[in-house]
Amino acid sequence: MRALFITLPAALALAACVEVDMSVDVLGEDEARLTGFMQMERQMFEMSGGDATFCNPDDGGTFVLTETHARCEFDQTGTFAEIMQSDSESDAPTDLQGELTYLGENRVRAFLPLSSMTNDMAEIEDDPQMLAMMRQMFAGMSITFTIQGREIESSTATISEDGTRATVVMGVEDLIAPTTQRMTDFETIVKF
């Protein structure tokens, strides 16, 4: 659970009808806090066997089952490696993992390979029926990732008005866009 967005291809997250909203707050040269949630419709959760093991309390997860959703809320503080790496049993490719790298002078580089996450969608480009089905099935679903700190020095994502957060939001249209219009990698320099 710890780094689902960081290691799970966006197409797979949406295919599982999972909505993800994650925020990483850089606290120091090797310390960060991961907060947010991932959720799916309750009906989809029950159809998949009602297995809540994806929400591990040891990783700061709290499982919440409502009338409409199965939701994992999480709050974890740890080293960059603890926050950004997948669980050991995950089979996610390492080239899809995000990175936090200390650059010195209270500056950290955050990187997510968004272009790699959307590569698997290329085959859908030439199938109008599949495109239409994807748009319908995943309407309103999104994956949001935010990096925050004292100040955002630069970012390929949207920087908040107060200059402390950089956010990228991916919906189905971002994932099935033509190759030439796909999202670039998320890269942000944040000061703590």
Alpha-carbon span 61 to 13, nearest angstrom? 18
Q: What is the pLDDT of residue 16?
A: 53
Q: Which two tokens stand for residue 28?
A: 């120091």
Quick one: tokens of 20?
A: 């993800």
Residue 158 — left, alpha, or beta (φ > 0 → left; ψ -120 to 50 → alpha)?
Answer: beta
| β-strand pairing of 18-28 with 142-148 | parallel
* Residue position matching structure tokens 């089979």: 91
What is the torsion angle, in degrees rounded to the nearest 10, for the CA atoms of residue 91, residue 95, residue 96 and residue 99?
110
- Give residues with Cβ within 8 angstroms of 80, minimum separation 6: 30, 31, 32, 99, 100, 101, 102
Chain-centroid distance, C-alpha 156 = 15
- Check residue 125 and give its pLDDT: 67
Query: Per this entry, what is the length of the chain?
Result: 192
pLDDT digits (tens), the chain, 192 positions: 444 444 444 444 545 567 889 999 999 999 999 999 999 888 888 988 888 988 989 888 999 999 999 999 999 999 999 888 755 444 444 445 789 999 999 999 999 888 776 655 666 667 778 777 777 766 777 889 999 999 999 999 999 999 999 999 988 677 666 666 767 899 999 999
Contact between 27 and 191 under an 8 Å Cβ cutoff? The reply is: no
Question: Residue 37 is encoded by which pair of tokens?
Answer: 């949630």
How far is the CA of 25 from the CAs of 15, 161, 163, in angstroms?
A: 28, 17, 13
Give residue 142's pLDDT. 83
Give Dmax (Cα) for the chain. Answer: 51
- Alpha-carbon distance of 33 to 56, in angstroms, equals 16
E strands within 42-127?
A: 61-65, 69-78, 99-104, 107-112
pTM value is 0.80
